[in-house]
């Protein structure tokens, strides 16, 4: 966290509220066998940066709205992010055994239960989005539907799932014998924009929608979040090269070992760092163009670029 | 199909409309790599009985509504049903290699792609529900949110995913060494009510909501669909014992071989058939109590009980 005291305090306060809300948005009392309920909590309540929900809440603030109206959307995006990690970590995908400093879910609960816990988290996200905030106000209902559409589009085959499929196809040959998909630099960036960027953008856009932002404000927040997402991926790649497993909380060096193209591999570390800083400058310009001079959103961008895990 | 000519024609006409709508509700043009888009279509457009969407549309008709308003909900439920089949068939779950008369998706596309295709179908369901019908009418928006909540609750940990988790726990011991969960007759029925019944009920309820049904009509349709769901499971168990793989389009005798408790195993085939007929009688009574004298819904019930696959 490189932001000044009050900004750091703002982000930390939001993070604490998100933690409490996440626990509250899981089914309660558990109406399912202990095991799948336990599995969902194991992965969801394992800490994590909570970047997406905090970005969602900050976007509601940035357009002059009430951030609490965006809390269900913020939590829904984190539920979806967590499900995607569970499924990505499966042996049939990235085959990762460490995540957020703990053994991955399929290691402790079995593959079948991990698949189901992911399915349950994804479905729960839409239950929360439809149900909360609990009001029949027609204006809020219209915003909720727009947010559900935004998040579903970003999480699905046009976004995250499609990006993950490209990623999968780039490292494994298919059963019908096609060789792995080759990605050049542009293909790599497009894959990350789908796999990681789309949901980060949806988090911010959903916050701006629930905060009652104008179409111009929502579009500016979307552009800024797109830059944040790109910066996030570049820094992720740098940390994968430079990091150690203990700090990252997941296995370091996996991408390089798997022969995946990364920003440091394509451009070197120094140029990659400069590219990430340039994302922040473009994000700030996008926000200023819509008269959003919000230090809190930019503090999140700075955190993304200067983080160490 | 045992219903008379006009009822059979009604069901067949609806089925044909559902087939066309399902194809239209998949992402178009494909914005994802050919492979995951292909995988989603492989499983979704493989025929199937389309029981749930037809029940959804018939429920809209039954409450005096316009069935076309329920088409997005009908298709969303079928997208969710199809995703659940893909994930259930995975090696880590039921490990099935035949479905709807063809090799299961993971056999032809690999496990990773099958997991992603399922995730994509589930997410697409909510995209369709939020987006369609495309209107800003506040009354329709309220119905759409109610339908999203209904379907998400039925598909998630309180419903289908929770039921599947119980089913999984009943046939495998967990990594932490707990033995398989033992199910008695009541536990078996509760598991099926979650795993299969909840989504069948949600299909009917969603149709009644989109058709503008009163709360009393919606509750009656819900009760009738609950009976249909139970009958469906009883007949499924009977067909698993009596059927041959070629007719079923999936592997016969799996449940018995896996030692799963089934209705024929608990009660014998004749008593199981009688229990299914009793479901139909209770469904009819529930509908009549709300002055729904709709032969088309009851024809679906009769089809469920007298089907041969």
The overall average pLDDT reported for chain A is 90
What SS3 class is residue B102?
strand
Q: Which residue has the higher pLDDT, A258 or A10?
A: A10
What does the pLDDT read at residue B3? 41
- Distance from the Cα of residue B231 to its chain's centroid: 13
CB contact under 8 A, B174 and A118: no
d(CA A14, CA A27): 22
ipTM: 0.94
Q: How far is B108 from chain A (nearest CA, A)?
A: 6
d(CA A241, CA B7): 65
CB contact under 8 A, B119 and A123: no
pLDDT in tens, A119-141: 999 999 999 999 998 888 999 99
Q: CB-CB: which of A33, A146, A157 is closest to B169?
A: A33
Give me the domain span that covers residue B51. Answer: 5-306
- Distance from the Cα of residue B108 to its chain's centroid: 24
Q: CB-CB: which of B124, B146, B168 is closest to A156?
A: B124
CB contact under 8 A, A40 and B157: yes
DSSP letters for A68-84: GGGHHHHHHHHHHHHHH
Task: Name the residue in chain A with its Cα closest to that of B88.
Answer: A112
Q: Are B215 and B222 in contact (CB under 8 A)?
A: no
* pLDDT at A247 > cutoff 70: no
What does the pLDDT read at residue A183? 82
Number of domains in chain B: 1
What does the pLDDT read at residue A1? 36
d(CA A59, CA A41): 27
CB contact under 8 A, A142 and B141: yes
Q: Which residues of chain B have pLDDT under 70?
A: 1-5, 29-32, 173-177, 244-260
Q: Which residue has the higher pLDDT, A143 or A173?
A: A143
CB contact under 8 A, A112 and B93: yes
* pLDDT at A16 > cutoff 90: yes
**Which of A25, A95, A116 is the best residue to mutate to test the B interface, defined by the most B CB atoms within 10 Å of its own CB?**
A116
CB contact under 8 A, A127 and B153: yes
pLDDT in tens, A182-233: 888 888 889 999 999 999 999 999 999 999 999 999 999 999 999 999 999 9
β-strands B98-99, B102-103 pairing: antiparallel
Q: Which residue, among A193, A225, A234, has the nearest Cα to A207 in the 3D structure? A: A225
Q: How far is A173 from chain B (nearest CA, A)?
A: 10
Q: Which residue, among B220, B147, B232, B235, has the nearest Cα to B195 in the 3D structure? A: B232
What does the pLDDT read at residue A293? 79
CB contact under 8 A, B130 and A120: no
What does the pLDDT read at residue A4? 47
Looking at the DSSP bridge assignments, the partners of residue B99 are B102
The tokens for A197 are 């960027």
Confidence band, pLDDT 50/70/90 cuts, at residue A245: low
Residues of A in contact with B122 (CB under 8 A): 119, 122-123
pLDDT in tens, A101-114: 899 999 999 999 99
Confidence band, pLDDT 50/70/90 cuts, at residue A100: confident
Average pLDDT estimate for A245-254: 60
The tokens for B24 are 């239209």
- Report the CATH number at residue B248: 1.10.600.10
* pLDDT at A2 > cutoff 50: no
Confidence band, pLDDT 50/70/90 cuts, at residue A177: low
Average pLDDT estimate for A231-251: 77
CB atoms inside a 10 Å sphere around CB B307: 15
Q: Which residue has the higher pLDDT, A243 or A38?
A: A38
Q: CB-CB: which of B35, B123, B166 is closest to A122?
A: B123
* pLDDT at A23 > cutoff 70: yes
d(CA A86, CA A82): 6
Question: What is each CA distance from A35 to A23, A127, A270, B174, in whole angstroms?
Answer: 16, 21, 46, 9
Q: Which residue, among B77, B62, B98, B298, has the nearest Cα to B199 in the 3D structure? A: B77
What does the pLDDT read at residue A3? 41
Residues of B in contact with A116 (CB under 8 A): 87, 161, 164-165, 168
CB contact under 8 A, B161 and A119: yes
d(CA B143, CA B59): 15
Confidence band, pLDDT 50/70/90 cuts, at residue A240: confident
Residues of A in contact with B136 (CB under 8 A): 142
Q: CB-CB: which of B35, B37, B142 is closest to A136?
A: B142
**Unique residue bearing structure tokens 């078996």:** B188
Q: Which residue has the higher pLDDT, A262 or B289?
A: B289
* pLDDT at A33 > cutoff 80: no
What does the pLDDT read at residue A249? 62
What does the pLDDT read at residue B186? 86
What does the pLDDT read at residue A254? 66
Q: CB-CB: which of B124, B145, B168 is closest to A144?
A: B145
Residues of A in contact with B158 (CB under 8 A): 27, 31-32
**Which of B121, B156, B167, B209 is the best residue to mutate to test the A interface, defined by the most A CB atoms within 10 Å of its own CB?**
B156
What does the pLDDT read at residue B135? 87
């Amino acid at each position: 966290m490189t932001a000044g005291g009050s900004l750091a305090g703002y982000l930390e306060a939001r993070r604490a509220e998100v933690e409490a809300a996440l626990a509250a948005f899981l089914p309660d009392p558990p109406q399912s066998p202990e095991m799948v309920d336990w599995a969902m909590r194991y992965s969801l309540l394992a800490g994590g940066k909570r970047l997406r929900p905090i970005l969602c809440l900050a976007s509601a603030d940035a357009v002059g709205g009430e951030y609490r109206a965006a809390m269900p959307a913020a939590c829904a995006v984190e539920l979806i992010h967590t499900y995607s990690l569970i499924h990505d970590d499966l042996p049939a995908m990235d085959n990762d055994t460490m995540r957020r400093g703990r053994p991955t879910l399929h290691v402790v609960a079995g593959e079948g239960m991990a698949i189901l816990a992911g399915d349950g988290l994804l479905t729960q996200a839409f239950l929360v989005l439809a149900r909360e905030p609990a009001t029949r106000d027609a204006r809020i209902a219209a915003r909720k539907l727009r947010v559900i559409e935004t998040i579903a589009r970003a999480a699905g085959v046009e976004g995250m799932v499609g990006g993950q499929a490209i990623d999968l196809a780039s490292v494994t040959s298919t059963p019908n014998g096609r060789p792995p998909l080759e990605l050049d630099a542009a293909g790599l960036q497009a894959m990350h924009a789908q796999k990681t960027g789309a949901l980060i953008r949806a988090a911010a856009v959903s916050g701006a929608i629930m905060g009652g932002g104008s179409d111009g404000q929502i579009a500016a927040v979307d552009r800024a979040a797109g830059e944040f997402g790109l910066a996030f991926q570049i820094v992720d790649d740098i940390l994968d090269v430079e990091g150690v497993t203990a700090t990252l909380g997941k296995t370091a060096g996996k991408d390089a070992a798997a022969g995946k193209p990364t920003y440091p591999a394509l451009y070197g570390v120094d140029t990659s760092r400069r590219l990430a800083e340039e994302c922040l400058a473009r994000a700030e310009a996008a926000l200023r163009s819509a008269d959003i001079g919000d230090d809190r959103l930019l503090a999140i961008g700075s955190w993304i670029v200067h983080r160490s895990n």
